Amino acid sequence: SGLQVSDLSTLSKMNTHEAKMVIRLLEHLLYNGYRAEQLVVLSMYKGQLTLLRHLAKSAAANMCLRDRAEQVRMSTTDNYQGEENDVVIVSLVRSNTAGKGGQIGFVGTDNRINVALSRARRGLYVLGN
């Protein structure tokens, strides 16, 4: 399922289904000729970033692309201010139920959204639920 969960050790958010989709998108872009240095993955949450890095190294990734997927830069949105790249993939992570009032935490903070959506020179992919 595409539900968010919290990492109990850090209280950061992560969404496993969304992270797997990010890795599949990376594999697709690498397979179709993009170089690792042309791509960046941004996440609002460190928990998601840790999960993404783990999945990029995972044996579940396509063996011929795994090494290149590991070379793709992955960063939190806060740490990517002032930088840009050809293709940016943004993982929003949050997937709140209606019972929580639809609150999306600091994903809705204007400066974070601005950074996430303005770093791409050629292509922007936003994954969320």
φ/ψ of residue 126, rounded to 5: -120, 120
pTM (predicted TM-score): 0.80
| pLDDT tens sequence across 20-53 | 999 999 989 988 999 999 999 999 899 999 999 9
pLDDT for position 60: 46
Number of domains composing the chain? 1
What's the CATH code of the domain at 41?
3.40.50.300
Domain of residue 57 covers 5-127
